Amino acid sequence: MKRPIHECVSREELLRWTGDLVAIPSYSGLPEQEAAVGAYLKGVFDSEGVDCRIVPLRDGRCNVAAALSGTGGGKSLMLNGHMDTVPAYGMERAFEPWIDDAGRLHGRGAADMKGPLAAMLGALVAIKRSGVRLRGDLLFCAVADEEEGSLGTVALVEGGVRADAAVVGEPTGGRSVAVAQKGLEWFQFDFIGRTVHGGSYRAGVNAINQAVKFINALHSRLAPELETRALPLAGESTLNIGVIRGGTQLSTVPGECFVQLDRRFVPGLETWESCVAELREIAESLAAEDPEFKYEMKVLESSRMEKGYVHQGFALNPDDAFVRAVGRGVERALGVEARISGCPCWTDAGLIAHYAGMPVVVYGPGEMECAHTNEEHIALEALEEGLRAYVAIAREWCDQANSE
């Protein structure tokens, strides 16, 4: 009797791959940020005889593309995950993976998303070792720069890489299949006042006061409207003032102040362009009321993508054939019914859906709540479940005939 496909990869191998990936720093700002992770992934695929190549990007960065060719007539599937992480911040031993008594591997990227990436890697290796041939092609795309400008997935879209559907492996707890997420943009408003000594206050223009006017206008005019824009799984439209800075000392009227805000928009109800227009309209109305109200608006550099691309959202019908196939795969692998949900954060799934026109879901092992924190971890049991689920999803989808 043949053993199950997922058993062709051991727990020890999954643990080793995850730990090795966590031990390779690939956080924002490093030169050739993802190159070492890419080389590691290619090394594993090469040793297993899985077709794999490094796809160069700019500044020494890269994507990794691997594939198992199908026998023909089936549907193709892309497993997509990112190689970059956020910095360590205050996390101790961030790149020295260790396992606690509860069986959880700790380290930067363990959940977001080197653990899910290792489970995806394991799915291809397990299928290859088993000798089973799927009808459709199974693609593995490890991408750069998801935490910032998504250079990797934009390059993937620009390069014409397509499949009949895609799974983005961000952590969803292994039980939830996310079929929607909001779009995202980060804006900065610079307010320009006039600096004078505090003793001559009325001769100056206080830039902090101008910023406060703007913030109050956002809350009184825009926030109530945003609460009316919502989709059941994507949630409601939001605006968050995350940073405000201005002034130099107490006895000086501040001539400069800036405000940075996070804007999340609901697919189908709003667009990136409508978000820009609403924010600009409020600022312009304040300028019309006060000749001294001067501002500049821009997208933060850390949020800026390649020309022609923005952080789009997506919403896939829960009754879509791909969603049903993923749900069957999760139930087959884990013995539980998959919960259909929305993704609370932004992921590359928005780019894949909007610009590549592919049905996509977000699904992976690990807990999003611990991502980017000093306690980031992934349970070893979750890694094994992720491997089982990715194998089962691939079989459910890739073995369907193209006409179905």
> Which member of 34, 137, 145, 146 is catalytic?
146
CATH class of the 5-181+313-398 domain in this structure:
alpha beta
| pLDDT per residue as tens digits for the range 284-309 | 999 999 999 999 999 999 899 999 99
Side chain identity at residue 105, one-letter code? L
Give the pLDDT score at 355. 97
312 contacts 319 by C-beta, under 8 angstroms: no
> Which member of 34, 84, 348, 399 is catalytic?
84
Q: What is the distance between the alpha carbons of residues 74 and 403, in angstroms, rounded to a whole number?
A: 9
Least confident of 194-203, 240-249, 394-403: 394-403
* Residue 100 annotated as catalytic: no
Give the pLDDT score at 141. 98
Q: Residue 201 pLDDT > 90, yes or no?
A: no
| pLDDT per residue as tens digits for the range 312-332 | 999 999 999 999 999 999 999
* Residue 84 annotated as catalytic: yes
Give the pLDDT score at 91. 96
Over residues 322-349, the mean pLDDT reads 96
Give the pLDDT score at 3. 83
pLDDT band at 53 (very low <50, low <70, confident <90, very high): very high
C-alpha separations of 128 from 68, 70, 262, 383, 390 in Å: 8, 11, 43, 19, 14
User: Contacts from 30-36 at CB under 8 Å and sequence distance 24+?
Assistant: 31/59, 31/60, 32/59, 32/60, 32/61, 33/61, 33/84, 33/144, 33/145, 34/61, 34/62, 34/83, 34/84, 34/144, 34/145, 34/152, 35/60, 35/61, 35/62
Q: Comparing C-alpha atoms, which of 126, 160, 143 is closest to residue 81?
A: 143
| pLDDT per residue as tens digits for the range 14-35 | 999 999 999 999 999 999 999 9
* Rg of the chain taking only CA atoms, in angstroms: 24
Give the pLDDT score at 10. 96
Taking all residues of the chain, what is their mean pLDDT, rounded to a whole number? 96
Give the pLDDT score at 1. 53
Pick the CATH number of 183-303 from 3.40.1000.10, 3.40.50.300, 3.30.70.360, 3.40.47.10: 3.30.70.360
Domain regions of the chain by residue span: 5-181+313-398, 183-303
Q: What is the distance between the alpha carbons of residues 359 and 2, in angstroms, rounded to a whole number?
A: 33
User: What global pTM score does this model have?
Assistant: 0.93
Give the pLDDT score at 403. 56
